[in-house]
A and B are shown apart, each in its own frame.
Chain A
Amino acid sequence: MDLQTTIHESINVITVNAERIDASVAIQFKDAMRAVTDDGPDHMVLDLGQVAFVDSSGLGAIVAAMKQMGKDRKLDLAALTPDVAKVFRLTRMDTVFDIHENVQQAAPRAAG
């Protein structure tokens, strides 16, 4: 699972370079997220702009990624595509995360 981290001032933006987070990659995604969130700032943003689809395993892995950061740190989501937003809305998990329209909104200085 290809994740790219960009540091914007005090926020790390983690971009998922994959079209799907589904059952076949959920464990790899969770492990990769652990590796990139282990160190670094307390506030991170997961950029899902390239992810067209998540299933319930992918959703669970995103929740797991937030949980493994611990309660004193924060993982926001940004740039949800329509199908991904639908899964978060239907399962009401959109109430568990702060969700931003795009990365610029999540990390205002990211636009440069």
Chain B
Amino acid sequence: MEFRTNQHGFSISTIGNERSVREALAKTRSALGDSGISDDLCSTVEIALAEALNNIAEHAYATTTPGPLEIAALLGPDGLEFNLRDRGNALPGLTLPEGKLPERDVPLDDLPEGGFGWFLLRNLAESLTYKRENGENCLTLVFAQK
């Protein structure tokens, strides 16, 4: 993993697998904390980024050897912006999944064990933008500074 700070925030270059995701999240959390971002916003960002990055490791690179994963963080006075790039498979239909909360008022055996990821992302990020360009997935997450 390569971590670099710049005048706007920081960037991380790594590989899109689960181990690197864990490492990238830890680095992001500590970098945000060092920048004086509140604990509440730090946790919101970490929960959302965890889902976005796990999707890359588990789905974008599901059928190929995990490739590059780039995170660019822009820390502004009004908000935080994270640009995630990978070279894995595109999102189906080239659109963001709806992210409905799974039904939980069901018998024990039917309780959901997954399907929370896009719901969390849509719920926690102020905005979410997906683009496929030059063989790359580009997901942008914006969080408002409170």
* Chain A positions near chain B (C-beta within 8 angstroms): 20, 22-24, 53, 55-57, 59-61, 63-64, 66-67, 70-71, 82-83, 86-87, 90-93, 95-96
Contacts and interface: CB of A to CB of B under 8 A. Distances in A.
Contacts of B15: none
Nearest to B105: A95
Contacts of B19: 24
Contacts of A90: 47, 119-120, 123-124
A56 B48 CA distance: 10
22 contacts: A20-B22, A24-B22, A53-B50, A55-B47, A55-B50, A55-B51, A56-B50, A56-B114, A57-B54, A63-B111, A66-B111, A67-B111, A67-B113, A70-B108, A71-B109, A82-B43, A83-B47, A86-B43, A87-B47, A90-B120, A91-B101, A91-B120
B146 interface: no
Q: Which 7 residue pairs spanning A and B have beta carbons closest together?
A: A60-B113, A56-B116, A24-B18, A55-B50, A83-B43, A60-B114, A23-B54
Interface of B: 18-19, 21-22, 39, 43-44, 46-47, 50-51, 54, 57-58, 101, 104, 107-109, 111-117, 119-120, 123-124
Most buried by B among A23, A61, A83: A23
Contacts of B123: 90
Contact of A23 (B46, B58, B104): B58
Contacts of B21: 23-24
Given A22-B22, A70-B108, 6 more contacts: A24-B21, A53-B50, A56-B120, A60-B112, A63-B112, A90-B120
Nearest to A96: B104
